[in-house]
Chain A
């Protein structure tokens, strides 16, 4: 499915659910990028910010964010431990889109569920998009 344009994004738009596997190699690569926290590999638990990062990336692939867009604020709630190797499905929707000066502020809600459909993470991101 081709990404929808930023202009087409409206309040209430629901992102198509996307699944991704939090495999051991993926988490090892994530931990290398964030510089440490190797204890996650020995404990077999996914770092919660990794779940969040992949959920954000998965959602952002379904719409085209104009270059130069940046993160303005972020909320996350981590609800359950996620073992490495789990498959997580994430979804979200646009809850606000307003213009402030030369920026659009877009607020999206994010949820991630484990294989048993239990919510493991929820959050809200505000993205500032240059006009």
Chain B
């Protein structure tokens, strides 16, 4: 894990290291087991088929974990103890989808001498449809 990131390495417009994941029903079931979230919309195919969604969908928190993976790769500890995430779930991620999570640095601002990095983030499926959109703010930790 990248421990901390220097302010001099951060430039508005830079892309964040994207994360690509293929979703399967088995992985959704594994996430349900790990998280304890057994909502049938995620794991019960016959129930989910009767809903307006027409089939099972991945947990939103699973896709957010991919987003957090990208932010951890980009900012290391500064993300883990100084990150702020705000997202909207726009469309479901389904079994057999390939989800690409990407982001870019929008700006760097200083508040009381502390640098904060503003990023825009999104996750898209293989059809290019937005699954999650949002933003993040990272308070950069000082490097001793």
Contacts and interface: CB of A to CB of B under 8 A. Distances in A.
Please indicate whether A and B come from the same complex rather than being unrelated chains.
Answer: yes
Interface of A: 26, 29-30, 32-37, 39-40, 43, 45, 47-50, 52-54, 56-57, 60-61, 65, 67-81, 130
Contacts of A50: 65
Contacts of A75: 84-87
Nearest to B31: A33
Contact of B34 (A33, A56, A67): A33
Main secondary structure of the interface of A (DSSP, over half): mixed
Nearest to B77: A81
Contact of B88 (A48, A56, A57, A73): A73
A73 B89 contact: yes
Given A30-B34, A57-B35, A72-B88, A35 B27 contact: yes
Contact of B1 (A43, A60, A74): A43
The 7 closest A-B pairs by CB, nearest first: A71-B60, A33-B34, A34-B65, A57-B36, A33-B31, A33-B30, A39-B1
Interface string B11-23: 0000000000100
Interface of B: 1, 21, 27, 30-31, 33-37, 39-41, 47, 51-53, 57, 59-62, 64-66, 68-69, 72, 77, 79-89, 92
A71 B89 contact: yes
A61 B47 CA distance: 20
Most buried by B among A37, A75, A78: A78
B82 A78 contact: yes
9 contacts: A32-B30, A34-B31, A53-B61, A56-B61, A70-B89, A74-B89, A75-B85, A78-B84, A79-B82
A68 B51 contact: yes
